[in-house]
Chain A
Amino acid sequence: MPTLKRSLAKIPTKQHHDTPTMFTRYSALLAVVAAVATPALAPAADPFADTVENANKKLVKVFGAGGFSRLNNYGTGILISSDGHILTVASQLLDTSELVVHMYDGQRLKAQVIVTEPLLDVALIKIRLDGKKIDEDNGLNLEKGKGYFDFDAAVKRGPAAPGDWVLAMTNTFEIALRDEPLSVQRGVVSAYTKMAGRRGIFEFPYSGDVYVVDAITNNPGAAGGALLDKKGELLGIIGRELKNSLTETWMNYAIPIVGKTEFKEKVTVKDKDGKDVEEEKTSTVSVPEFVTLALQGKYKQKKREEFIGQGGYHGIIFVPNILERTPAYVEDVAPGSPADKAGLRPDDLVSFIDGEPIISIKALDEYMKKHTRPGMKVRFEVRRGEALQTVEVELGQHPPKPKLPLPPPPKP
């Protein structure tokens, strides 16, 4: 600690004498940083009690599928229409016909999924009264702004900026039941960014825009809760529990109301010879688009580009796979293959790919098929002797397989 103190004390002096220009620039930068970080617009004396009480009336506790293997059967939802449409996260919670919500006043009501969009990781559900069809008038008649959030206004307001104060309201840890109010936390937006969902680090379907927040918001049951500005206006939907397996840290994020994500879809186009060919096209889907169409019952789930087929090609030849769990020992590498180029050697044991533990040859094959494709760079961690080595492999196309003679067709 003493050395640290000394070095801290030295910085200004040194800059002052040796590099005056640097000093100016430096302080200007600091001033900017400080201005962003200082909640100058939010008097720190304001308690949020009224804001919280009002927002609580526009949120519900959601109960559905789960309750086993660390999957909780409770979550949170955001009311966005007068007849009880609820925006929430597209989690396993919704995989049930027995979806139930608890309103702020303690009413226990049934709900039904309208549509989900895994690309955005959001879902729209709706309160359904017993004996009524989902599209029949359920008589809820919630009041805009008081009984539900004005979604369009939230879209118009636009995103919050890093440094802005936020409140999170969720049913974290299922603390609230019936008429008990949701839990509130506060923090600032740390970043508005894209989910850096490198597969293997985050096993996650969503790779679009997120608010990263500095409060510990994403606990069990918090998913589907509301991220609000300090006035209680809707900014985003609190996401799931997400752990970075590389750093062992938990991420606290929300999907912005104005958030969007890109996805690849296959489209059929004519090539220059007028022949139909499939082409990959990058499209965008946004939360506003989803909500607007879903509220009208018109939203169709996007077709996702799944990595299908053999995945990327590495060129490793493994030891004979004779056991159920044969460890992924490298027997040899195909000359000139990605593995060869990356410097993998016989007797290396592949232990992790992109941070995911690889327990067997079978697991490695499955991982490659599911999560990789040609052209992708993946990080292999291999045990070589006593040390763990990290090797980056740029996967290639599978070489054409030699045609095997077809077996004779079965006799009728």
Chain B
Amino acid sequence: MTRLLAPTLASAVLVAALVVPAAPAAPIEVDKAVLDAQSQRIATIKKVHPAIVAVCMQGGQGVGSGVIIDPEGYALTNFHVVQPTGPLMQAGLADGKLYDAVVCGIDKVGDVALIRLLPKEKGKPFPFVALGDSDKVRAGDWSLAMGNPFSLAMDFTPTVTYGLVSGVNRYQPPEGKGLLEYTDCIQIETSINPGNSGGPLFNMQGELIGINGRGSFEKRGRVNSGVGYAISINQIKNFMGHLRAGIDSDHATLGAAVGSANEDSQLPPVVVKQILDESDAFRRGIADGDQLLVFAGRDVGSTNNYKNALGIYPREWRVPLTVRRKNERKEFLVRLMGNMDKEKPPVPGGPPPKGPAPVPVPVPKGGGGENAKMYQAKPGYSNWYFNVLERDKLLTAFKKHGDFSTVPGVWVIEGAYKMPDREGALKIDVVEAKDTAKVTLKMNIETTLEPLTQNDRALQKMPLGSGGLMMAMYHYHRFLTLGEKGFEGGFAHGGNEPFYPYPADGSVPKSLASLRVDCAVILTKHGSVNCRWYFSLKDSTLLGFETYVAKDSKDADEADPCEVSFYDYKDVDGRKVPGRIEVRHSDKRYAVLTPTKWTLNK
């Protein structure tokens, strides 16, 4: 019922010229409020005008619209707009010039793509627009849509249309193969037509509140029928880290079916059904029949509410949710599962199921300018070039907190530890030489791990109940001292993600949701062990990391990581080290470590 808004390349356009007699300037009394609103509107349009993009094939054939969101030339558009262009495209701006551009990150399910325009003169900033808060948009608000419908403007001057927001938090189901699902989107009567795809939707302050992408048409043909949809900017913000890092992003599922307990009843509760054993939701203790009350801060009143609340998150994000079981209310922190690689039952009568959705970015054809140098193909990424760029940017910022590459030898960390049932002196030794590696942990009892030779998972998870604290310390040492060289299995930027460190004073948080800190993530793999490293978006401090000894294990205890959070950073020889370390595993606090003495490179 809804269709995407990319123009067919051969779309014939009839431009009806209306002959309007020029009115001699007869004085008309117009309400001041009307005139004020008009001049504000004109000012707003003028302000955002230079940042509107006409996305084109190489050569200038228009395929859609876009909008620049920062001075470096990053621009948002639809995934379905860059699908026909491939990784290299051109982009026309209102200045009439055509710029070379390259695809950066894509979100196929959400129908979003981030592209980057290259300036004509190196380093020259681009005009850009500010991002708004789409959660504040209400039905009945005014909005402006801009772009290049029907590829009308040969000089890329954007077309502007003006109208109401018809609805918010709308759900529009996927268009084939589970892609292009519009969750929590903004419905507008503001006219959008083929070619408006990927273009911006603004509030009357000129803040970007959405990316226009599709409409409901049915009988009236593929032109505006009064019902268009824009992807909300707040959803895109959740994916922004992924998009900038060139990741072929995916949305999430809970790992359970969620729906009305009874479609026919008056006000049915929304309940969890058919939970998957391998889901984190299951491991955290959510069960079939639990009533879902709140999902990531949103009340869940209906199935569509839930789809909207879920659909705005990338895979593997952790979100808090609240369920009711009998008369008990309980909050959980659940890591979401991926969406795209999940086997989907074939649609009866539909095309035979294919393998994973093809990466829409074929190897660029020869030629191309500067932008061709900014494209690198790699499975799982829409453009690996940007992953390296963002990753190295993050690591450079992190290095300001201390350069550990000069202290690759033995580390000795001494201090105290506290566990629920005991406390005492702490000593951690991490030895890493050419062919040997050994971690010794002394918390009254001494345990050791030789990570290179001991492949037994039970040993790797030692000490018991920690999820693998010694393995975590080994990777911590490795990450800080070796960096990329230490992770032959993978060393990539993982986009942005919320991190939930427990209160530094050890108190019980009033809600898990309140713990959220937004972080940039680095994903590493060494041997069979995966780690996620969380850096504060604010100042690139390493807030913590998770070590997965057996990420895909069916065993709940094995699949859960050892979670380490860092607090109270202090300076030791020009390097920042944590004064408090909290270790958690499977929703339980294992221990709090308070190191007082760090001997690095002994």
A residues at B contact (CB < 8 Å):
1, 4, 7-9, 11-12, 15-16, 23, 26-28, 30-31, 34-35, 38-45, 47-53, 56, 70, 105-109, 167, 172-173, 175-186, 215-217, 219-220, 241, 243, 250
**Do the beta carbons of B166 and A43 come within 8 Å of each other?**
no
State the Cβ distance, A175 to closest chain B Cβ, in Å.
6
Q: Bound complex: CA of A243 vs CA of B219, how far in Å?
A: 10
Q: Bound complex: CA of A34 vs CA of B33, how far in Å?
A: 17
Among B36, B218, B267, B305, contact of A45 (Cβ-Cβ < 8 Å): B36
Interface string of B293-327 (1 = CB under 8 A from A): 00000000110110000000000000000000000
Q: Bound complex: CA of A48 vs CA of B138, how far in Å?
A: 9
Additional 16 contacts, C-beta under 8 A, given A173-B218, A243-B219: A1-B17, A27-B26, A30-B21, A35-B28, A39-B34, A40-B30, A40-B31, A44-B37, A107-B267, A175-B167, A178-B302, A179-B301, A181-B167, A183-B166, A183-B187, A185-B166
Q: Bound complex: CA of A356 vs CA of B55, how far in Å?
A: 44
State the Cβ distance, A171 to closest chain B Cβ, in Å.
10
25 contacts between A and B (CB under 8 A): A1-B17, A8-B19, A31-B28, A39-B34, A44-B33, A44-B41, A44-B142, A45-B36, A45-B40, A49-B138, A49-B140, A49-B141, A51-B140, A53-B139, A175-B227, A177-B304, A178-B302, A179-B301, A179-B302, A180-B302, A183-B166, A183-B187, A184-B166, A184-B167, A219-B218
Q: Bound complex: CA of A167 vs CA of B37, how far in Å?
A: 19
Q: Which residues of A contact B141 (CB under 8 A)?
A: 47-49
Interface status of B14 (Cβ within 8 A of chain A): no
State the Cβ distance, A176 to closest chain B Cβ, in Å.
7
Using A8-B19, A186-B163, A215-B189 as known contacts, say yes or no to A172 and B227 having CB atoms under 8 A apart.
yes
Q: Which residues of B contact A39 (CB under 8 A)?
A: 34
* Chain A residue at minimal CB-CB distance from B226: A216
State the Cβ distance, B173 to closest chain A Cβ, in Å.
11
Using A27-B26, A43-B31, A216-B226 as known contacts, say yes or no to A186 and B164 having CB atoms under 8 A apart.
yes
Q: Which residues of A contact B170 (CB under 8 A)?
A: 175, 180
Q: Which residues of A contact B22 (CB under 8 A)?
A: 8-9, 11-12
Q: Which residues of A contact B28 (CB under 8 A)?
A: 31, 34-35, 38
**Do the beta carbons of A180 and B304 come within 8 Å of each other?**
yes
Using A39-B34, A186-B189, A219-B226 as known contacts, say yes or no to A23 and B140 having CB atoms under 8 A apart.
no
Q: How large is the interface on B (under 10, 10 to 19, 20 to 34, 35 or more residues)?
A: 35 or more
**Do the beta carbons of A40 and B29 come within 8 Å of each other?**
yes
**Do the beta carbons of A34 and B164 come within 8 Å of each other?**
no
Q: Say whether chain B's binding surface is mostly helix, strand, loop, or mixed.
A: loop
State the Cβ distance, B399 to closest chain A Cβ, in Å.
48
Interface status of B594 (Cβ within 8 A of chain A): no
Q: Bound complex: CA of A69 vs CA of B24, how far in Å?
A: 53
Q: Which residues of B contact A28 (CB under 8 A)?
A: 26
Q: Which residues of B contact A183 (CB under 8 A)?
A: 139, 166-167, 187, 189, 227
Q: Which residues of B contact A70 (CB under 8 A)?
A: 219
> In chain B between 161 and 198, which residues have their CB closer than 8 angstroms to a CB of chain A?
163-167, 169-170, 172, 187, 189
Among A56, A177, A217, contact of B302 (Cβ-Cβ < 8 Å): A177
Q: Bound complex: CA of A184 vs CA of B1, how far in Å?
A: 19
**Do the beta carbons of B23 and A250 come within 8 Å of each other?**
no
* Chain B residue at minimal CB-CB distance from A185: B189
Q: Bound complex: CA of A42 vs CA of B31, how far in Å?
A: 9
**Do the beta carbons of B266 and A107 come within 8 Å of each other?**
yes
Q: Which residues of A contact B166 (CB under 8 A)?
A: 183-185
**Do the beta carbons of B226 and A41 come within 8 Å of each other?**
no
Interface status of B536 (Cβ within 8 A of chain A): no
State the Cβ distance, A104 to closest chain B Cβ, in Å.
12
Interface status of B341 (Cβ within 8 A of chain A): no
> Considering residues A1, A9, A176, A178, which has the most beta carbons from chain B within 10 angstroms of its beta carbon?
A178
* Chain B residue at minimal CB-CB distance from A243: B219
State the Cβ distance, A376 to closest chain B Cβ, in Å.
30
**Do the beta carbons of A40 and B21 come within 8 Å of each other?**
no
> In chain B between 129 and 181, which residues have their CB closer than 8 angstroms to a CB of chain A?
138-142, 163-167, 169-170, 172
Among A8, A47, A106, A173, contact of B21 (Cβ-Cβ < 8 Å): A8
